[in-house]
Structure 1
C-alpha cells in the first residue's frame, strides 16, 4: 500500500509540476488578471463594469476571449510572419465542421441573426502607415461574417478577438474547452507561451515563478485592508503552531519524528491529489485563494484525526507484549474503534464545505470545492497509506524487541548489521515513556470536532455574507484599453442591429492567451515522426534527466532496497531464533525436567542487559528512560534504593513479565525466608496486560487452580457442561452424579424471579424531622425525580425500587437496579452519586456519610438479601424417578425427604442460620465463580439457598427445588476479562454482553449456577442418607500421589 500511494503521489507531483511551470494550474501567476464583466443596459451607447453577474437578469451574455500574437525580435507585419498568422487562423477557426472531433469556432460563437457577431474593420493606432500591410492581411483573411479581428497593440504584436455564446452553462463549458484546445496546440510557427516554459531551465523557471509570486503577494497586500492582512498573518502563525503541536504531541506518544512527518506527508499527498482532481474538473484555483485559505485549511482540518488513530493504535499495541502480538489484529481493532466517529466528523465537514462550493461567490466556491476533495483524499489515505505506516512502525518495534531478547551469542553472529539495525530501530522506536495511564484513559471527546465544525461553518458564512472576506479576485482586465474598447464598441453596435437589440448585453472579458512567433528552421523529418519522438523526449527530460527529480528517484531506490533487505534479514533471524527455541524445548527428555523448568524461574536471567558489569545506582538512574539498557540486577538495586517504586515497574519497563519477575526478586530478598524468587509459584506466559489496572496490583505471579467439568446437565432443555475450579476432591464427581440423576428425570427447570443489584448509601440530617421528611419525599413525589437522575448515568442501569429506612437522624436508601450483563457495583455507585446530588438540591442540610452504608448488603450475611433479594433471584426444580434415586443415588425417596427436613431445615433453624437452609450450596457456587471470573467474596450472600425435597406421584418420585434469591454474577467486567475465565464463559455460551437483550447472559449464568447447586445438593444429601460421605472423601481426598518409577 505504501508503494502504491507513493507511485500515485509521484505521478501527481510530476504532473502538477509541469502544470505549474506552464502556469496552467495557477492562472493567477501567469497573468495577474481576473475577468472583467462589461454591461450595457437597453439603449445604452457604451459599456460599464459590474462586480457580479447576479445583478443582471434577462440580458444577452457573451464571453470575449483574445489571443495575442507577438514577435519580440521582428516586426509583426513581415511576410513570413503574416503567413504564420494566416496558418494559425486556419487552425484556430476552421471553415468546415468535420475536423477530427475538435470544437469548431463557428459552432460556439454568438450569432446576431444568422451570422457570428464580428467587426469587419480594424481600427488602427497612430502607427497606421507602418502597419498598413498587417491591415491588408487581416482584411483578406477575415470575412465580414467572422468575428475574428486583428488589433495592433504595438508594431511587434497583434490581437485576435473572439466572441462566444455564454447564455447557459453548456455553452460556457464549450467555450472553456475551445480555449484549452487552442492553448494546448502543438508548437508550430506560433508557439503558446503557456507551453513554452517546459523547455526552460528549471532554476530560471523557479526564479521567474518566485518573482511572480512575490510581486503578486505585494500587489495583494497593497490592495488589502489592514484587517485582512492581520487575519492572514494570524492564520499563518496558527498554521505553523498547529504543525509544531503535531510534532510535540507525537513525541509525547513516543515517536521522535517519523509519525509526525508521515502525517505531514499524508496531508501533502492529499493536497496534490485534490489539486489534480479540481484541475481535471475544469476548476482553476487562483493563487491568492490558496495563499489566503491554506492556513485556515490546515488549522480547521488539522491533524486531529491522524493523531486520534495513532493514539489508539499505540494504546492497543501496549495491551500485550509486542513480541507476541498480531500486528494485523491490533491495527484492525484500532481502526474499528475510531473509524466510525472519524467518518462521521469528516462527512459533516464535507457537507458544510459542499454547501459553500454551491455558492456563487468567486474564490469561496473554488476553495470549498478544493477543501471537499482534500478531505475525501485525506480520509482515504489516512486509512490506507498512513495505516500502513503505523503497521510498519509496529513491525519494526516487534523486530527490535525480538532482537533485544535474543541471546548474546546470536548478537555476536551478526556484527556487520548490528550498528545499522540499532540506527534504524532507534529512528523508528518509542523513546518517551512519560505518558501516564490516566492520559491514555482519557476520552478523545467530541469537543475538538465540534469546534472545528463551528470554525468551518463560521468561515463559510463569513464569506457568504462578505464579513471580512479575504477572497478577492485581484487585478482585473482593463476594458478601457483601446484594443478592448474598440471590440466592445463594435460588439454593442452589432448587437443593436440584431433581433435581441431590446435586451441588455453582458460581456465577460477574459485575459488574453499569448503566442510567439517561432524561429525559422528547416524540417528534414516529417512532423508525423518528430511529434511522437518529441513528446517521448519531453517526458524523459522531465522525469529522468531532471537534476532534482533524478536524485530523489535514486535516493528512493536505495532507501527501498535497504529497507526491504533489512526487513527480510531480521525476519529470517527471528524465525531462526524461534526454531532454536523449539529445538531446546524438544530436547528436554524427562517430564520431571519439564516441570522444573516451568515451575522455577532463575533469579536474574539477563536477557535485556548489554554488559555484565553492574553499574552504580546514580548511573543506572540516568538510564531509567531506556530500561532495555539496564539488566535485572541493576533494576533490582534501583528498587531497593528507593529510586524506583515497586508498584510502578510495569509502567516504567513496559515489559510486564519482566516487571513481575523483578518485583518478585525484590520481595524475596527482603523477606525472612528468601524463597519466593525461586519458588514454584508460576510466573511466565500469563496475560499480565489484562490484570494490570483491572484485577490485581503488585503482581508476583499467578495461582493455577484445577478446573473440572461437571455434567453435562440438561438445564431448560439445553445440555450444559459446568466448569468448576476447586481443590476439594469429590466435589466435581459428586455434582456430576447429581446431574446424571436429574437428567434421568428430564433435566432441570429454572426461572428468574427478580433481577436487581443494590447499593445502600447512608446520609444524615440535623433532626429526625428532616430525616422523616426526606424519607417521605423519596417514597412519594421525589421517587421519579431520583429515578430519572439515576437512570441518566448509564444506558443499562435502571432503578427497579427504592427502599428507605431510618435509624435516628440517619437515612439509609437501598437502590435496587438492573445492570445489564455486568455485575454492576461500579455502575450503581455512579448512579447513587448522581441521585444523592439531586436529593441534596432539595435537602441542602443533608450530609452524605458513606456511599455504601452496609444496607446493600455486600459480602456480608444479611437478612435483607435473603428477604428482598440481591442480584439475580433464581428458582430451580427437578423430578427424579424413584428407580433412579435407588440406582444412581443408592438411597430412597423417603430417606432423602426425611434427611432434608432434619438437616437442611430444622438443623439450620436450630443454628439460627440466615439463608443457610442447604447442605453445601457455597461449595458449588464458589467453584463456578472461580472458573468464570466472578467475585469469590460475594459467595457470602450469593450462597443463600433453601433446598426443599418432597415425595410426589404417590411417594414414588422425588421433587427437589433450590431457591437462591441473591446470586450476584456478571459476564462483563472484573475477572471476566481474563482469557481463561472468558474461555469458561464461552463454554457456557454466555461470554460478554448479550447482543440483543442486555442482561440475558448474566441471567443465564445465574440459572446454570442454581441448577448446579441443586445437583450438588441432591448428591450430597444422598451420600449422607446412604452413609457414603466418609468413604468417598477418604478415597478421593487422601489419594496417594503417583511416584514415577525409579530404575
Structure 2
C-alpha cells in the first residue's frame, strides 16, 4: 500500500535508487523490484535520458508483418503491439492482394504547421493583413531559427492567417507552414513559432499567447490504395458485405470510432515500432476523420470495372527518421533497418498501406465469420498464459479453448490442471 506519493528528489536518483525508494513507499516485493530492474534490450542510461523518474521499461511484443508489396517492392514491416490478431490481419490482407500488385502509395509532402495565437487585437481583419505583408521577414526569422533544417532542403514555406471569434473576443491565428523533411518536426516548428511571435505582437499591437504546432497535419498526408480480386476474397457476397460495413462506418460516428480504431491498430503499431509519436499520429488521424463536420471513415471502399473490391486511405502522418526515440531507441533503429526505410515520406506511405490492410481484414471478418472468431482464437494464448501455462502448455491449452469455443481464464485453469495431472 502506498504510504505517500510525495517523494522529493526522486528525479535526482539513479533508476536503481528510485526502485529502492519506490519499494519503501509501496512495499513492492523483491521479485517485482528485480523484474523492473531488468530493462531488456534498452540500455538503462538511454531509458533514463528519455523520460523522467525512470524505474524500468514496459516491453511490448515486436512482430513482423509479411506478404506486403508496396509500390512494387516486397517489404517486411515490424509492428509493436500487445493486441492479438493485429499483425496476422495485415499479413492476411497483404497476401490476398499480392496477385493484383499489392499497395500503391503517395504522399502530399512533409509540411507541418505551427500556430501563433494573437489576442487583444483591436481590428483583427487589419492585423491579418499586417501579418501577411511581413511574409519575407517571417521567412528570414524562421530559417535563421533552424539553419540545419534549411541545409537539408527544408525550412519555412508559407503563412496563412485566420481570424476566429471566441466568446470573449476575436483572435488572429497565424500558421507557419514549414517543410520538416525527414524530421517529425515538432521541435523545429515550435522554435520558429516562439521566434516569430514577438514580432507579430509588435507589428499588430496585440498580444501573442499560444505558440505551438498543430497535430492536425493535413499538409502531410499519406495515401495508399489496393485492389482485392473476387477470387481472393471469396466472391461478390463477401465484397458486398465489406462495402456495407464501410458505408455503415462512413455515416455513423459510433461505428466509425471502432472502424478507425481498427485502422489505428496497424498504424500505431508501426509508429511505435519506429520510435515515433503514437499520440500525435492518432490525434491527427481522428481530427482529420472529422474534417467534414462529422466523424467518418478514414478509408474509402468501392468496386472497379471488373467487379473487384478497391480500397484507399488518406491519413495525416507526421513521422520522422531523426530526433526523439527514433534515433535514441536501438529497437526503433533496427525496425527502420528491417524495412530499409530511407526517408520519412517512405515511412509514412508504408504506414498508410498497413492501415489500409488492417481495415480490409477487419471489414472482411465482420462481413463473414464475425470479428470475434479469429481474434479470440489468437487471444486464447494470452488466456492460457494468464491461467499459468508455461512453454508447450500454452499451445495445448489455447487449442483446447478454441475447440470448446469458450476463451475464458477459468476454463483455461481447468484444462491446465487436467493437463498437469
TM bin (shorter chain)? 0.7 to 0.9
**Correspondent of 1:849 among 202, 209, 212:** 209
SS at match of 1:1038: helix
* CA-CA distance at 1:934 after TM superposition: 0.8
Measured after TM superposition, the shift of residue 758 of structure 1 is 1.5
* Match of residue 238 from structure 2: 892
Contact 1:668-1:677 at 8 Å conserved across structures: no
Q: Report the Cα distance in structure 2 between the residues aligned to 1:891 and 1:1029, rounded to whole angstroms.
A: 17
Give the corresponding residue for 2:162.
805
| Secondary structure of the corresponding residue to residue 851 of structure 1 | strand
> Aligned partners of 2:72, 2:311: CA distance in 1, in Å?
17
Deviations 1:828-878 (A, max 9, x none): 1111122223324433x33221223xxx533xxxxxx3xxx4362011111
1:904/1:947 contact within 8 Å kept? no
1:709 maps to which of 60, 64, 69: 64
User: How far apart are the structure 1 equivalents of 2:180 and 2:101?
Assistant: 33
- The one of 144, 147, 150 equivalent to 1:792 is 144
Which residue of the partner structure matches residue 411 of structure 2? none
1:1043 aligns with 2:390: yes
| 3-state SS of 1:698 partner | coil
What is the TM-score with the length of structure 2 in the denominator? 0.79
Contact 1:786 1:839 in 2 (8 A): no
Shift of the 885–666 alpha-carbon distance from structure 1 to 2, 3 Å rule, reads same
Q: Which whole-Å CA distance do the structure 2 matches of 1:721 and 1:706 have between them?
A: 16
Residue of structure 1 in register with 2:415 after alignment: none
> 2-side partners of 1:739 and 1:661: how far apart?
44
Give the 3 Å change call, closer, same or farther, for CA 805–1008 of structure 1 in structure 2.
Answer: same
Distance change (3 Å), C-alpha of 1:681 and 1:900: same
Name the residue aligned to 1:1025: 367
How well do the aligned residues superpose, as a CA RMSD in angstroms? 2.7
Query: Secondary structure, in 3 states, of the residue corresponding to 1:876?
Result: strand
Residue 283 of structure 2 corresponds to 940
1:896, CA displacement in angstroms? 2.0
1:789-831 deviations in whole A, cap 9, x for unaligned? 2122223242333222223342221222111211111101111
Partner secondary structure for residue 892 of structure 1:
helix
Q: In the alignment, what sits opposite 2:188? A: 827
Deviation at residue 684 of structure 1 after TM alignment = 4.6
Identify the residue that residue 37 of structure 1 maps to in structure 2.
none
Q: Distance in 1 between matches of 2:208 and 2:59?
A: 42
Distance in 1 between residues matched to 2:219 and 2:23, nearest whole Å: 41
Partner of 1:1006: 348
Decide whether aligned partners of structure 1 residues 821 and 724 sit closer, same or farther in structure 2, where only a CA change above 3 A counts.
same
- Measure the CA separation in 1 of the matches of 2:76 and 2:175: 36
Largest Rg, 1 or 2: 1
Once the two structures are TM-superposed, the CA of residue 680 in structure 1 deviates from its matched residue by 2.9
Describe the shift of the 1:891–1:666 C-alpha distance in structure 2 as closer, same or farther (beyond 3 A): farther
Report whether the alignment pairs 1:968 with 2:321. Answer: no
Find the residue that maps to 2:97 and give its secondary structure: helix
Q: Which residue of 2 aligns with 1:663?
A: 18
Q: Secondary structure at the match of 2:145?
A: coil
Counterpart Cα distance in 2 of 1:804 and 1:871:
16
How far apart are residue 742 of structure 1 and its match? 2.0
Work out the CA distance in 1 between the residues paired with 2:31 and 2:129. 58
Where in structure 2 are the equivalents of 1:26-65 lying within 5 Å? none
1:1011 offset after TM fit, Å?
Answer: 0.5
Matched, 1:689 2:45: yes
Unmatched 5+ stretches in structure 1: 1-639, 650-658, 859-864, 995-1000
Shift of 1:904: 2.3
Trace 1:490-529 onto structure 2 (pairs within 5 A): none
* SS of aligned partner of 2:220: strand
Contact 1:760 1:814 in 2 (8 A): yes
User: Residues 912, 952 of structure 1: CA spacing in aligned structure 2 closer, same or farther, 3 A cutoff?
Assistant: closer
Q: How far apart in 2 are the matches of 1:751 and 1:677?
A: 47
CA distance in 2, matches of 1:833, 1:723: 36
SS of equivalent to 1:704: coil
Equivalence for 1:837? 198
Counterpart in 1 of 2:251?
906
Q: Provide structure 2 residue ranges, at least 5 long, that are not aligned to the other structure.
A: 1-5, 290-297, 394-419
Give the whole-Å Cα distance in 2 for the aligned partners of 1:934 and 1:705. Answer: 15
Identify which of structures 1 and 2 has the higher relative contact order when contacts are C-alpha pairs closer than 8 Å and 6+ apart: 2
> Number of matched residues?
363
TM-score, normalising length: structure 1? 0.33
Deviations 1:295-337 (A, max 9, x none): xxxxxxxxxxxxxxxxxxxxxxxxxxxxxxxxxxxxxxxxxxx
Distance 1:912 1:741 in 2: 25
- Call closer, same or farther: CA 1:804–1:913 in 2, change over 3 Å: farther
